[in-house]
Amino acid sequence: MLRSAFVGLALVCAGVAQGSEPGTRSLDFRAALQRLVSVNETLQASRAAVDQSRAERAEADARGLPTIELKSRYSHLNAPLEADVGGVVDAISVGFQQLGVDVPGGILPREYRIQDRNFVNLSLRALQPVYLGGRIEAGRDAARHGLAASEAAVDRQSAELEVSLVDRFFGQALASESLEVRKRSAESLRRHEFNARRLEAEGQIARVERLRASVALAEAENELLVAQEQLALSRAALAALLASDRPVTTATPIPAPPPSVERDVWKAAAEDANPALREAAQRLEQARAGVRAARGESLPVVSLFGSRELYTEDLTLVDPEWVVGVQASWTLFDGGQRRARTTRAEARVSEVDRRLQAGRRDVALLVDQQIDRLNGALARHRTLSATAELTDESLRAQQRAFEEGFATSMDVIEAELARSRVALGELAARRDAWVAAAALYTAAGRGEQLVDLIEQLADD
């Protein structure tokens, strides 16, 4: 009796706590999903990778544009740069003398200063790539596909998180509703045990019948405590997934089961829209662009160039004020480095392509498995739903028969346990159906449709 009183007090406290729990956060499924995608660190890291890929694409697009540089330099030489023109001066003097003209010595300098010890250069230079062997276009393609792959990776991780949320969110709802079933079962067995004690005192049943009722009540109370522990664990698991410092309660009950789906239609949809396959397909295109870029290294490089001196005071006679032209370079031998890079890029294409083929088979298998799991859960739910009314009526009949002396205590206990099993099985079937549906919808890239369906059936 002391144990029964203690359990009853615990149930009262749990009921109060469950009704209005200060310090907890109550979320419906859509709000929980919005919180999950906003606080999950893995998803945030993937979004940062998207930003990185977007910057890489901008960099690749800019490689085809000209580069303009402003260069300046101050130089100090150990001595002025001068040219000895004494021979030229002597030849000029001899020529004038032959013409009868006397050139005084020292009039013509015998040294010509080309550059002072201190001088400044300031120039504006431009370089425009014209042909790089296709590497610019390949780089742009690689960056474009890399960005698409990063965005698909975000979708893939969002889908995985959505499945985890369905599992834990409705796992908590299952634990909460299972607790209510255990409470109802314990209360029913408590009334039965009370009636058994009364009938035993009146001499209408044997002591063993009352003992069976007492044992069944003790087991039901123990299962009730276990259900309370499972609810606490499920709340902790959901709070951890949502990165919440407070317990999270579910405001959306487990909806009616989702409808069955057509296998071929969903397999085709998954092959077209599965985020993991989209990511792998973009990685394959990125790898192929890498092969084109590697092969382009074996071709010549052609570009236009131009330069304009902005400060001309220190220019020498041999320094132009401006210059434009075309330049070309072609690496003929580099020890086999380009060939190795091309081989590596081709191997990368083969690797990604094989992974993509394996991924397609895995996704097709996943769809088959989840459809089978969904159909199995729907079948169990139909069977248990049809059985629920029978178990309720059977329990009422056994309770009346026991009070009139036409049934044993074990008959009542078995009827109550059967009703509990059916109720718990029906809840578990609904939850299993939604977990399978979540995996199926996200595999086909229809995660938002899943949220709408949950809200629609939960309202119904």
pLDDT for residue 4: 42
Q: Which tokens belong to 96?
A: 């004038």
CA distances from 217 to 8, 188, 192 (A): 12, 9, 9
> What is the rounded (10 degree) CA torsion for 308, 314, 319, 324?
0
Closest CA to 369 of 454, 449, 445, 263: 263
Confidence of residue 7 (pLDDT cuts 50, 70, 90): very low
User: In this predicted model, what pLDDT tens digit does every residue of 250-294 receive, in sequence order?
Assistant: 999 999 999 999 999 999 999 999 999 999 999 999 999 999 999
- What residue type is 258 in one-letter code? P
The strand pairing partners of 73, in sequence order, are 121
For residues 186-206, give the mean pLDDT: 87
- With 50 as the cut, is the pLDDT of residue 9 above it? no
The two beta strands, 111-115 and 81-84, are antiparallel
For the cut 50, the answer to whether the pLDDT of residue 231 exceeds it is yes
Give CA–CA dist 151/445, Å, rounded.
Answer: 13
Cα-Cα-Cα-Cα dihedral sign, residues 247, 251, 256, 260? negative
CB atoms under 10 Å from CB of 259, counted, come to 11
**25-27 and 248-250 beta bridge pairing:** parallel
Q: What is the pLDDT of residues 95-149, one digit of tens each?
A: 777 777 776 766 677 777 888 889 999 999 999 999 999 999 999 999 999 999 9
Nearest by Cα to 383 from 428, 413, 414, 415: 428
C-beta of residue 86 within 8 angstroms of C-beta of residue 108? no
Pairwise CA distance, residues 76 & 116, whole Å: 8
pLDDT tens, residue by residue, 304-320: 999 999 998 888 878 89
Q: What backbone phi and psi angles, to 5 degrees, belong to 28?
A: -80, 175
Sign of CA dihedral 73, 76, 80, 82: negative
**What is the band of 393 on the pLDDT scale with cuts at 50, 70, 90?**
confident
Q: Mean pLDDT score of the chain, rounded to an integer?
A: 88
Enter the tokens of residue 27. 């979320």
**What mean pLDDT do residues 351-355 have?**
96
The pLDDT of residue 82 is 80
**Dihedral angle computed from the Cα positions of residues 62, 63, 66 and 69, in that order, rounded to the nearest 10 degrees:** 90
When pLDDT is averaged across residues 155-179 and rounded to a whole number, the result is 95
Q: What is the mean pLDDT of residues 208-226?
A: 91
Predicted TM-score (pTM) of this structure = 0.79
CA-based nearest residue to 165, from 369, 96, 403, 157: 157
Helix, strand and coil content of the chain, in percent to the nearest 5, comes to 70, 10, 20
* The pLDDT value given to residue 396: 86
